[in-house]
């Protein structure tokens, strides 16, 4: 590792850099557990891994980290109701959210019921016409269709009106969710949610897919206690760990505790391609084996989400549950086409929203929030666009769309920076009548409003955000985990760094700095990306910078010359030759 300092007060990406200074005593304590590797010790120290926990962290197993199903409030009660329904042959429907977490959760249940010789019903609400979660109308429809039991997954914990209607019409509902909810749980047959106030499992970081996976284990546990099983034996839920891992990653759940085991072991199942739907989707996406967090999160995830965003919200759940290869290919092709449509819609809105955001910054450089809105902006992609604005301008961002065919009111989606709780801000605006409704959590939120409420929302949000000056300034900080010399950008270093993975929410991939290197070659690739060659002291590194052309960062890289670079190590195999690449996320002038 390079023993050098690095000070950047203003990068081309509009950020300031700090070089992480780990506690040296902790680094020394970690060294014996890491065969004396100093770089690994310095990367582990900020992750708060105690020396006694190094082995479990580096090799997370289900045996060591799997939660006790009985520790979840209502888990065993829900298992009893569900197993009884299976044995009695009652009609059971799963009510799933339209995102990847909902789709993977419903597929786990569908496969569990199939192992017992039964097919579970499926209901997925339409984003535009029904919105998020169950409604009284949906429950009445399911009752009329003959459902004897409904299991909601990745939704339902806050659906007080819908659950009250279910009680009134005599429809038993089991809720399996992970979202924040009120102090008093609504009335239903059973409510499994590690984030309910009286739950003591300590598993509030699980995605819905993780909770449902534990629920499948609870069903098996109960069946063993009763001495019963289907003719083929109890389902081997290890085969569905790929679904659990996919839902966990795509829902951006923190990769700690059981989630680390779910993802680490689930990636092995994903790579084997056992799920026909995921295999078909990977083939159509052209990635071959599903062998990384990137493949799961950024290749499969957007395609699975595309149906819920701009197409048929049922597609992902159907794809993940099917065992028919022909059906899987047909569904995967439709999702792939919807994803192309989604990307085109997103690009058009992002271009307009970026112009609007830049105008707001030009008019007020001290603005505390960006709010971009447009008629015809599809609510299925505004969350992605809000995230893009937040990443580019390092400010909380809200994107709002409305228009014919897009629902009766305007819908907004928000993304925030560290230290500015956008969910609380939206909730406060709703309580004061500035908007119709809304809420969320610290980093993301959603809202509904009439288009004529937009000016009032902008004024209210600007006033509210004016108090977060220090937090907004801190959001522009980019922390460099360690400095590397170009000669250290090798497959061996990449492999070493991967030992502390998997990386994701709550377990970020390390960011490295290359100090005072020379850009000797640049070439645009794709629509707006750059390929670079950087050199120093006789060593050459191939680098990539994504979505940078037309930005200050891209303009600076095209000028070549000497710079500091910040980025991540990536693996690259081409024509049988393996190298490491440097993925640039920011750059700054050197000297």
Give mean pLDDT, residues 418-428. Answer: 91
Give mean pLDDT, residues 305-327. Answer: 92
Q: How far apart are CA 10 and CA 23, in angstroms?
A: 26
List the alpha helices (DSSP H) in 145-287: 160-168, 208-226, 241-250, 258-272, 276-285
Query: Are 164 and 173 spatial neighbours (Cβ–Cβ below 8 Å)?
Result: no
Query: Are 389 and 416 spatial neighbours (Cβ–Cβ below 8 Å)?
Result: no
Q: How far apart are CA 461 and CA 393, in angstroms?
A: 17
Q: pLDDT class for 2, splitting at 50, 70, 90?
A: very low
Beta bridge partners of 535: 518, 540
pLDDT above 50 for 3: no
Q: How far apart are CA 202 and CA 245, in angstroms?
A: 19
Give mean pLDDT, residues 360-373. Answer: 95
Q: pLDDT class for 181, splitting at 50, 70, 90?
A: confident
Q: How far apart are CA 313 and CA 338, in angstroms?
A: 11
Q: pLDDT class for 405, splitting at 50, 70, 90?
A: confident
H/E element, 110: helix 100-115
Encode pLDDT of 32-72 as tens digits. Answer: 999 999 999 999 999 999 999 999 999 999 999 999 999 99
Query: Are 19 and 477 spatial neighbours (Cβ–Cβ below 8 Å)?
Result: no
Q: How far apart are CA 92 and CA 118, in angstroms?
A: 9
Encode pLDDT of 101-152 as tens digits. Answer: 999 999 999 999 999 999 999 999 987 777 778 999 999 999 999 999 999 9
Q: How far apart are CA 522 and CA 43, in angstroms?
A: 31
For residue 312, give the nearest of 380, 386, 237, 411 by alpha carbon. 380
Encode pLDDT of 224-271 as tens digits. Answer: 999 999 999 999 999 999 999 999 999 989 999 999 999 999 999 999
Q: How far apart are CA 451 and CA 403, in angstroms?
A: 9
What are the C-alpha distances in Å from 144 to residues 148, 170, 252?
A: 10, 11, 36
Q: Which residue has the higher pLDDT, 132 or 559?
A: 559
Q: What is the reported pLDDT for 309? A: 84
Encode pLDDT of 465-503 as tens digits. Answer: 998 989 888 889 999 999 999 999 999 999 999 999 999
For residue 289, give the nearest of 580, 586, 573, 588 by alpha carbon. 573
Query: Are 336 and 303 spatial neighbours (Cβ–Cβ below 8 Å)?
Result: yes
Predicted TM-score (pTM) of this structure: 0.90
- Three-class SS of residue 568? strand
**Domains of the chain in sequence order:** 16-20+481-589 (2.40.50.460), 64-338 (3.90.1640.30), 364-474 (3.10.310.30)
Q: How far apart are CA 539 and CA 572, in angstroms?
A: 17
Encode pLDDT of 281-310 as tens digits. Answer: 999 999 988 988 999 999 999 999 998 888
H/E element, 122: strand 121-123
φ, ψ at 285 (rounded to 5°): -75, -15
Query: Are 439 and 426 spatial neighbours (Cβ–Cβ below 8 Å)?
Result: yes
Strand order of the β-sheet with 92-96 is: 121-123, 92-96, 149-153, 173-176, 190-192
Beta bridge partners of 82: none
Q: How far apart are CA 264 and CA 503, in angstroms?
A: 10
H/E element, 57: helix 54-58
| Tokens 């299976």, located at residue | 86
| Tokens 């795509």, located at residue | 250
**pLDDT above 70 covers what percent of the chain?**
99
pLDDT above 80 for 591: no
Burial class (CB in 10 A: 0-12, 13-18, 19+), 380: buried
Q: How far apart are CA 516 and CA 59, in angstroms?
A: 36
Q: What is the reported pLDDT for 129? A: 77
Query: Are 20 and 39 spatial neighbours (Cβ–Cβ below 8 Å)?
Result: no
How does the average pLDDT of the chain come out, rounded? 93
Structure tokens at 262: 């779910």
pLDDT above 90 for 442: no
pLDDT above 70 for 1: no
Q: How far apart are CA 462 and CA 455, in angstroms?
A: 11
H/E element, 428: helix 422-431
For residue 249, count other CB atoms closer than 10 A to its CB.
32
Q: pLDDT class for 4, splitting at 50, 70, 90?
A: low
Q: How far apart are CA 303 and CA 278, in angstroms?
A: 11
Structure tokens at 313: 């919200």
**pLDDT above 90 covers what percent of the chain?**
83
Q: How far apart are CA 96 and CA 512, in angstroms?
A: 40
End-to-end CA distance of the chain: 21
Q: How far apart are CA 97 and CA 251, in angstroms?
A: 12
Structure tokens at 465: 């955000």
Beta bridge partners of 309: none
């Amino acid at each position: 590792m390079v023993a050098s300092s690095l000070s950047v007060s203003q990068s081309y990406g509009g950020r300031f850099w700090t070089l992480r200074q780990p506690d040296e005593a902790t680094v020394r304590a970690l060294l014996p557990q890491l065969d004396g590797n100093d770089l690994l010790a310095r990367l582990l120290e900020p992750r708060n891994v105690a020396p006694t926990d190094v082995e479990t962290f580096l090799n997370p197993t289900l045996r060591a980290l799997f939660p006790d199903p009985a520790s979840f409030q209502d888990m065993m009660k829900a298992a009893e109701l569900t197993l009884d329904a299976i044995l009695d042959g009652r009609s059971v429907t799963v009510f799933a959210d339209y995102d990847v977490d909902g789709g993977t959760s419903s597929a786990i249940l569908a496969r569990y019921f199939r192992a017992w010789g039964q097919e579970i019903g499926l209901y997925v609400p339409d984003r535009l016409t029904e919105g998020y979660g169950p409604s009284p109308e949906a429950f009445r429809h399911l009752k009329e269709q003959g459902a004897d039991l409904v299991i909601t997954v990745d939704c339902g914990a806050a659906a007080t009106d819908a659950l009250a209607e279910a009680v009134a019409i005599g429809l038993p509902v089991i809720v399996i969710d992970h979202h924040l909810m009120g102090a008093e749980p609504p009335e239903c047959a059973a409510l499994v949610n590690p984030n309910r106030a009286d739950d003591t499992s300590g598993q509030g970081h699980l995605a819905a897919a993780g909770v449902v996976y534990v629920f499948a284990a609870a069903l098996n546990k109960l069946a063993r206690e009763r001495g019963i099983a289907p003719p083929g034996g109890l389902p081997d839920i290890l085969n569905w760990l790929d679904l659990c891992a996919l839902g966990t990653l795509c829902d951006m759940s923190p990769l700690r505790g059981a989630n680390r085991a779910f993802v680490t072991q689930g990636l092995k199942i994903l790579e084997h391609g056992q799920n026909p739907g995921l295999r078909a989707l990977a083939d159509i996406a052209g990635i071959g084996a599903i062998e990384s967090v990137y493949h799961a999160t950024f290749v499969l995830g957007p395609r699975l989400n595309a149906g819920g965003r701009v197409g048929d919200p049922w597609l992902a759940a159907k794809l993940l549950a099917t065992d028919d290869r022909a059906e899987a290919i047909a569904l995967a092709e439709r999702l792939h086409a919807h994803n192309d449509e989604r990307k085109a819609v997103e690009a058009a809105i992002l271009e307009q929203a970026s112009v609007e955001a830049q105008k707001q910054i030009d008019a007020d450089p001290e603005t505390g929030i960006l709010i971009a809105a447009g008629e015809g902006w599809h609510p299925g992609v505004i969350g992605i666009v809000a995230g893009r604005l937040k990443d580019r301008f390092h400010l909380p961002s809200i994107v709002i769309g409305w228009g014919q065919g897009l629902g009766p009111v305007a819908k907004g989606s928000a993304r925030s920076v560290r230290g500015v709780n956008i969910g609380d801000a939206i909730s406060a605006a709703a309580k004061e009548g500035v908007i119709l409704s809304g809420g969320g959590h610290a980093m993301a939120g959603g809202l509904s409003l009439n288009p004529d409420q937009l000016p009032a929302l902008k004024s209210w949000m600007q006033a509210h955000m004016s108090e977060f000056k220090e937090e907004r300034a801190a959001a522009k900080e980019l922390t460099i985990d360690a400095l590397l010399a170009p000669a250290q950008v090798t497959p061996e270093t990449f492999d070493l760094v991967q030992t502390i993975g998997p990386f994701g929410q709550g377990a970020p991939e390390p960011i490295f700095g290359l100090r005072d290197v020379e850009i000797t070659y640049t070439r645009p690739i794709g629509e707006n990306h750059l390929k670079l060659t950087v050199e120093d002291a006789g060593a050459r590194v191939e680098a990539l910078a994504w979505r940078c052309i037309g930005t200050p960062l891209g303009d600076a890289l095209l000028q070549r010359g000497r710079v500091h670079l910040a980025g991540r190590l990536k693996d690259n195999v081409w024509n049988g030759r393996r190298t490491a690449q440097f993925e640039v996320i920011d750059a700054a002038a050197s000297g």
